[in-house]
Amino acid sequence: MTSTPPSLEEIAAAGNRRLRDADRLKKSGDELKELVLAALRDGAHRPTEVAKASGWTGAHVRKMARDNGIEPDERYRERAERLKKAQEPSDG
């Protein structure tokens, strides 16, 4: 069976679809980011719930939050510090 090579028009159309889809992906990503940041600022949902609902990792959501001036809740900060201290090797 012989296959015909794609035409330049087919290649151009695929290229245009890729650009259009990239633009739509960027727009939807920007919209999701704004929703996530708004939810974190509001505090109605736990950050882990927001991350899970968004489909992004917790680390990515935390980085976005810190980059946008949203600091962790003091309870989380205190818990993280306790866990860190508990994991430190003891002198002895």
Q: What are phi and psi of 68, to 5 degrees?
A: -110, 20
Burial 57-79 (b: 16+ CB within 10 A, else e): eeeebbebbeeeebeeeeeeeee
Residue 92's pLDDT band (boundaries 50, 70, 90)? low
Q: Which of 1-5, 15-19, 37-41, 65-69 has the lowest mean pLDDT?
A: 1-5
In the chain, domain spans: 14-85
61 contacts 54 by C-beta, under 8 angstroms: yes
Q: Which residue has the higher pLDDT, 8 or 80?
A: 8
pLDDT, position 78: 78
For residue 50, give the 3-state DSSP assignment: helix
pLDDT, position 1: 55
d(CA 12, CA 78): 55
Mean pLDDT of 10-29: 97
pLDDT, position 58: 94
Mean pLDDT of the chain: 91
Nearest to 73 by CA among 50, 52, 43, 44: 43
